[in-house]
Amino acid sequence: MSKNVALTDHSTGRSWLAGILTWAIPGAGHLLIGKTTRGLLLGGVVFFMLALGLLLGGHLYGPHSSADIGLLAYVYGFCNLGLGLLYAVCLWAGIGLTDQAARATAEYGNIFLIIAGLLNYLSMLDAFDIASGRKA
């Protein structure tokens, strides 16, 4: 009964909440709207890509790295920002902020981190669409 209510409640506020929640915590918005499997899958992939990216020596971009690569830091930073609260926690804790260019896998790590953020943006839109009734 509660699952049916969750799937048919297409209020605007709920849609935005699902989208923002997915952005903040990957997969959480899907859990909110009753798409448990999809939420765990999408969230798991984003978390795994973040962990793998950091282990490979990748680093997160943002205003702090503009001295190194200029305006491109904001482009990559926007991609990383898709990680939501994970990005904020990493900035706050100082995780993944150091460029480890000497490591052979550092660029692979950067790509994993960038794509993790972009995939979470897609997940966010997916959660919004489902919650608003545009998708099943």
Partner 1 sequence: MIVFAALVAVVFGAIGRETARASVLYGLKIFAEFVGIGLALAWILYWLPL
What is the binding site for partner 1 (CB under 8 A)?
38, 41-42, 45, 48-49, 52, 111-112, 115, 119, 122-123, 126, 135-136
Q: How far is CA 92 from the centre of its chain?
A: 17
Smallest gap from residue 48 Cβ to partner 1 (A): 7
Check if the beta carbon of residue 128 is closer than 8 Å to that of residue 16: yes
In the numeric block, which tokens belong to residue 16? 């935005």
Residue 48 vs 75, nearer CB to partner 1: 48
Residue 42 vs 73, nearer CB to partner 1: 42
- Kindly tell me the burial class for residue 6, based on how many C-beta atoms sit within 10 Å of its own C-beta (0-12, 13-18, 19 or more): middle
Smallest gap from residue 37 Cβ to partner 1 (A): 9
Smallest gap from residue 52 Cβ to partner 1 (A): 7
| Number of other residues whose CB lies within 10 A of the CB of residue 91 | 16
Phi/psi region, residue 84 (left: phi>0; alpha: psi -120 to 50; beta: rest), is left
Phi/psi region, residue 101 (left: phi>0; alpha: psi -120 to 50; beta: rest), is alpha
Residue 95 vs 119, nearer CB to partner 1: 119
Residue 64 vs 134, nearer CB to partner 1: 134
Smallest gap from residue 100 Cβ to partner 1 (A): 19
